[in-house]
Amino acid sequence: MTENNGQNKTADTINSPELGVNDKTARSSNKVLIGLIVVLIIAGGLVWLYLQQIKLNDAIDANISSLAVSLLAKDEKVLALENANSKLNQHLSELVEQQKLLLQKMDLLSDSQTLTGADVKQFWILSEVEYLLNIANQRVALASDIIGAQAALTMADDLVKNLNEHRLSPLRERIAQEQLALASVVKPDVEGIAFKLRSAINAVDTLQVLMAAPVSESEQALSIGDVNDWNGIASSAWQQIKSLVVIRHQQDGRAAVLVPEQRYFLYQNLKLKLETAQLALLSGKNSVFESSLASAADWLTTYFVGDKRDAMLAMIRQLQSENISVELPDISGSATWLKGFE
């Protein structure tokens, strides 16, 4: 009986409806958990793929930018090469044209007569004479170089003389006239005037400035009675301000410097006027040269005194009489005549 009772209890336990429900719930929970895990794995994979896609896009963008910069640099290099090639082609075209002209001249000489050694020598000597005449014109017109132009004309005349060709006598006559015209040009001593101006500039700091009489203590003192009312205070303040004035005018109309520290500006202004005159001298600007010297002379007379001032003023007056403008003659007649010579 006892054994039968135990078997019955076991059977009842197995066949209990509560135990079946628990098993079903456990299975459902496991399935949900597995589903969540699968979803998380899929989501993680998608995020990883998204991040990889972003990195790939960034790398592609970087490569595209680098390629664009490289293409732009190549385009600039190609453009520079094309410009250089264009200039080179233009220069080659000019050389080809010059060569054609030279060949045409040689053909004309060859067709007109049979060239001898003397004829060839004359041709090249006249070419050299033409070159020297052009050099003389350029030295006068562009650099105002009288000496260089005279030297070029002398060399050209010597070459023509050695040819011993009577047909070139008019050329020698024109060269002689141009040499005389250059010799008659009066050129100022620019170097000497520049040295004088430089010495004056260096001596500016040694000049004595016209100093006014110092302000007396009675003019500067403030009495107690003066400041008892507003009018007295204003009057005293005005007296103090007047004591700070830099320049006073004397009875003869000249200005006198009161504060010694301000003399620096007087010196620098005078130097600037003299340096302007020096620059105008070297540039050949006569009007600026004269106005700068006149301004420097007025400045010396107004603000400076002493023997050194008088000496510098006398030198400036002497420089004012100098005429630095040069009228250059026209020496193109010989070159024009030679171009028409056959």
Domain spans in the chain, listed from the N-terminal domain onward: 2-93, 115-187+330-339, 190-212+250-320
How many residues does the structure list for the chain? Answer: 342
Phi then psi for 116, rounded to 5 degrees?
-105, 175
pLDDT score, position 151: 93
293-310: burial string, b at 16+ Cβ within 10 Å, e else: bebbbebbeebbbeeebe
Per-residue confidence band for 241, with pLDDT thresholds at 50, 70 and 90: very low
pLDDT score, position 110: 63
- Give CA–CA dist 166/191, Å, rounded: 43
**What residue spans of 189-285 are helical by DSSP H?**
190-202, 217-220, 230-242, 263-283
Per-residue confidence band for 342, with pLDDT thresholds at 50, 70 and 90: low
Closest CA to 168 of 2, 1, 334: 334
Average pLDDT over residues 145-157: 90
pLDDT digits (tens, 9 = 90+) for 198-207: 999 999 989 9
Residue 185 has pLDDT above 60, yes or no: yes
pLDDT score, position 226: 45
pLDDT score, position 75: 73
- The residues pairing with 114 across neighbouring beta strands, listed in sequence order, are none
